Amino acid sequence: MNRKVISFVVKNKGGLILIKIDAMGLACPLPVIQTKKALKNIEENGHVETMVDNVSSMENLLKMAKEMGLESSSEKIEEHKYRVVITKGEGGTTVVSNDTVSNEKMVIAISSDKMGEGIDELGDVLMKGFIYTLTEMDTMPTTILFYNGGAKLTVEDAPTLEDIKTLEGMGIEILTCGTCLNYYNLGDKLAVGEVTNMYTIMERLQGADKLVRP
């Protein structure tokens, strides 16, 4: 994932808070994640202005605002430059929060080091984005299972290793199939979580209230 640090300026404007975010060049879903973080920093009234470089990011921001019950607007500044402004609280607007605290056992089962079918390079990018986005979610899984090609994501030098370690630090159980590690000659390369077996994998799958397969 592109992890360029986003600098944002907080200004006091007529009693309202204005947060400006430069998300130009940032890959999905970083513009949405950073904008949502900024909105959380506004306790009452204010605006978040986010600059993005593509239509998809602009539309994703507008969709997020709608789902949160917030007013929003957008404009094209120039080629590959768009501004999205999201308003929180002003004019009686209230936030409909999607944040949830759940006791459900959510299990994520990852069976490949790529997400989806098609071009492998794109699948790599999507899987990196999926793992990173998990670290920013409000509702967390209880367990993440890695098996078959997914076992490649939890070993030394894996591009997803940092984010999976972050998830483990949040208390999420990280389990990787031992048979799979051995098959790929990675038995001594596991760098996060624990080695598991098919019995435990089946237990976690059967015990899940919600199962996610990216």
SS (H, E, C) 146-197: ECHHHHHHHECCCCCHHHHHHHHHCCCEEEEEHHHHHHCCCCCCECCCEEEC
Q: Which domain holds residue 110?
A: 106-212
Residues 71 and 117 in one domain: no
Residue whose entry in the numeric block shows the structure tokens 């060049």: 25
Residues 56 and 110 in one domain: no
Q: What is the mean pLDDT of the chain?
A: 86
> What 3-state DSSP class applies to 124?
helix
Residue 5: the pLDDT is 45
CATH number for the domain harbouring residue 60:
3.30.110.40
- Residue numbers of the chain with a pLDDT score lower than 70: 1-15, 90-103
Residues 184 and 86 in one domain: no
